[in-house]
Amino acid sequence: MNSRILVSGVSGPIGAALVPSLKTGGWSVVRLVRGPATGRSADNAQIAWDPAAPIAPQAVSGFDAVIHLAGEGIFGRWTAAKKRRIRDSRVVGTSNLAQALAQAEEKPKVFVCGSAIGYYGDRGEEVLSEESAPGTGFLAQTCQEWEEATMPAVQADIRTAHLRTGIVLSPKGGALGAMIVPFKLGLGGRTGDGRQWMSWIDVQDMVGAIHHILKNDLIQGPVNMVAPKPVTNAEFAKTLAGVLSRPAVFPTPALAVKLVFGEMGQELLLSSQKVEPGKLISSGYPFRYRELSTSLQHLLKS
């Protein structure tokens, strides 16, 4: 019989690429989707949940693995209400899921839970490993609480990994989707002084590395999900423009970013994180896309 896996957040760019690959890999996939009440669909391919409410342990019992990617999108102006949704959808949702898994009669062997390199805050030129201390700011605080919310699963001896994910490059939206239009129009360029580090990962490596974590019993705790070669924002702009055969001569001043996007612009677009994928490398994950140019070429020209 196929191994059974429960996956939340399947409609985002990562989930959309992950689910078909899990099925190809022989997993029997059940989606955890938002709905009015916890319950299974007639064909058992879907379980509805409310991230804000406790989950009945029997609803999530009997899975070999659980991958939890759900969370309110972080783009847009961070009003007080938006920030609350960003935080609560992750922290409360993860806590409810982890408690149900911990109490389930048949617990999963592994719980893979989303997190982000936002954990590290704005760190300039510092090289960041999984052992680096957390940073400050809204995203750093949210990521710490998000990771801590898995504690019931950890205490129930479920192997738990936190995906400290960098900028996922995908043809289906996300950061690249937001950048592509001005660059295609020849209006792209660096953001701010362009010296901030961008730690990116191709969506195919994101998916490949999740499979690697599922298979590798020794991996647990935080895992930096980034390619081995981060680039500065200026280099990113130059490479993207080069792949599209366009110039990259229109910088967006930091002041404009702060005026238009406020706190979100400061934490997401202007902050610097030079992150190394220590655990993926030491456990032998074979990156497919190490160079930004190769990743962008296959994403934008396929």
165 near ligand NAP, judged by CB under 6 A: yes
Q: How many CB atoms lie within 10 A of CB 179?
A: 17
C-alpha count within 13 angstroms, C-beta hemisphere, residue 238: 7
5, 12, 194, 223: which one binds ligand NAP (CB under 6 A): 12
Contacts to ligand NAP from residues 18-57, by CB under 6 A: 33-34, 51
CA pair distance 298, 302, nearest whole angstrom: 6
271 near ligand NAP, judged by CB under 6 A: no
Nearer to ligand NAP, 33 or 56 (CB): 33
- Of the candidates 241, 232, 224, which has an alpha carbon nearest to the alpha carbon of residue 300? 241
Which segment (66-74, 207-215, 270-278, 293-301) binds ligand NAP by CB under 6 A? 66-74
Residue 90 in tokens: 């992750």
How many residues touch ligand NAP under the rule CB under 6 A: the total is: 25
The minimum distance between CB 144 and ligand NAP, in angstroms, equals 14
277 near ligand NAP, judged by CB under 6 A: no
- Percent helix, strand and coil across the chain, each rounded to 5? 40, 20, 40
Residue nearest to ligand NAP (CB): 12
- Of the candidates 176, 194, 163, which has an alpha carbon nearest to the alpha carbon of residue 277? 163
- Strand, coil or helix: what is 75? coil
109 near ligand NAP, judged by CB under 6 A: no
161 near ligand NAP, judged by CB under 6 A: no
Could you tell me the CA-to-CA distances from 186 to 172, 238, 247, 261 in Å, in that order? 21, 12, 6, 22
| Residues at the interface with ligand NAP (CB under 6 A) | 9-15, 33-34, 51, 69-73, 85, 89, 93, 114, 116, 165, 167-168, 174-175
